[in-house]
């Protein structure tokens, strides 16, 4: 069975904390995941951030990306606008899970959740222009480039463009078998 057929989304458990903390605190690919300046992240600060953002009307919708019962990353819908019915999409995977179609499979499931279960009309994301693998994955899921923020991100000594991509439910509906 292919990796992508074994990918599921599920609720986070206490057993996932170590894997998710390692992903969140990895300075090697920090800029791929966060607009904040890179900085060491303690496990306690990470767990506090999770706890603070887990409740309330503005809380993101967060799932663990599961492969055969093991957490390999997370996907989320955040900055949800309930009036305009849109949200931003985020994904973070462990290094071992990248390049295997796992992220694409997880995003497809998150997109279906967003449109079918949360009744969103549009999802969007931002990605560094240099992250060609991520852009290919997003395009496979149906995202299209909507714009470019020139020299918007500071990444390891130079400025990089941010690509803004979006997907409308109407386009997603028409592409489904």
pLDDT in tens, 47-56: 888 887 777 7
Alpha-carbon dihedral sign for residues 73, 113, 109, 12: positive
Residue 1: pLDDT band (50, 70, 90) is: low
Residue range 121-165, pLDDT digits in tens: 999 999 999 999 999 999 999 999 999 999 999 998 999 999 999
Q: How many domains does the chain have?
A: 1
Which residue range(s) make up the domain with 52?
A: 3-175
* Integer CA distances (angstroms), 12 to 16, 42, 151, in order: 6, 19, 35
Q: Is the pTM of this model over 0.85?
A: yes
The pLDDT of 67-75, averaged and rounded, is 97
39: CATH: 3.40.630.30
Residue 38: pLDDT band (50, 70, 90) is: confident
């Amino acid at each position: 069975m292919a990796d992508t057929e074994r990918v599921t989304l599920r609720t986070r458990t206490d057993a996932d904390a170590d894997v998710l903390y390692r992903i969140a605190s990895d300075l090697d690919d920090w800029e791929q995941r966060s607009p904040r300046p890179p900085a060491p992240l303690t496990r306690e600060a990470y767990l506090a951030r999770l706890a603070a953002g887990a409740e309330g009307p503005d809380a993101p919708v967060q799932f663990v990306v599961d492969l055969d019962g093991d957490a390999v990353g997370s996907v989320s819908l955040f900055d949800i606008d309930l009036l305009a019915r849109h949200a931003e999409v985020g994904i973070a995977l462990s290094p071992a899970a990248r390049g295997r179609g796992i992220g694409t499979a997880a995003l497809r499931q998150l997109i279906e959740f967003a449109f079918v279960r949360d009744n969103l009309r549009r999802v969007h994301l931002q990605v560094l222009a240099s992250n060609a693998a991520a852009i290919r994955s997003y395009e496979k899921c149906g995202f299209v480039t909507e714009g470019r923020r020139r020299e918007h991100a500071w990444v390891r000594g130079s400025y990089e463009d941010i690509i803004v991509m979006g997907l409308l439910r109407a386009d997603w509906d028409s592409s489904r078998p």
